[in-house]
A and B are shown apart, each in its own frame.
Chain A
């Protein structure tokens, strides 16, 4: 069954530390996305990718980098984590046509102390 998986599911980091969140999809979708979910803000787009080797900035990219080394994998990198980046992060994949469904992973809960 096609799926989007994320690791780790929970992460506690220290301020100033580096954090890498990983996402893997077996949907063979070209597009992948990283969102963060916060109360009162819903889902906000951080970075996205059209395919291997491509990354694009979303609505709130500051403080985040992304890497898409292959069709299946898309990482979100926090080089210098801050407490304001405490959130739940979701990865999603989708076909090239933006009008079609996005498939979400189960989320990663990140706490930055």
Chain B
């Protein structure tokens, strides 16, 4: 069945470190992929989305790359700040409708210390 896998449950960094979070997906065809960010006490919000048409997306200093060959979708930021501490969710919208909403990964908690 369709699934989204985030292996990294927790990432701990210092300010100005490089952030890399990987996500892999399983579905038929090439879905639209998303990264959502959830700050403490808030609901998730869209960080960026990428389709196969453009392969990359960027927002607020974050960049995401869609690799059809390895069915992976990773998020990176060159120099993280303490305000980037949050939970990051990879999500997928399958090609077929089937009544589904987005399929989310289990989330990666990023903690950045000053």
Chain A contacts to B: CB under 8 angstroms: 4, 31, 33, 35, 40-45, 48, 56, 58, 90, 92, 94, 98-99, 101-107
Contact = CB atoms under 8 A, between A and B. Distances in A.
A103 B44 CA distance: 8
B25 interface: no
A92 B43 contact: yes
A103 B107 CA distance: 17
Interface of B: 6, 9, 32, 34, 41-46, 49, 89, 93, 97, 99-102, 104-107
A42 B100 contact: no
The secondary structure that dominates the B interface is loop
Contacts of B105: 42
A42 B45 CA distance: 14
A28 to B, nearest CB: 18
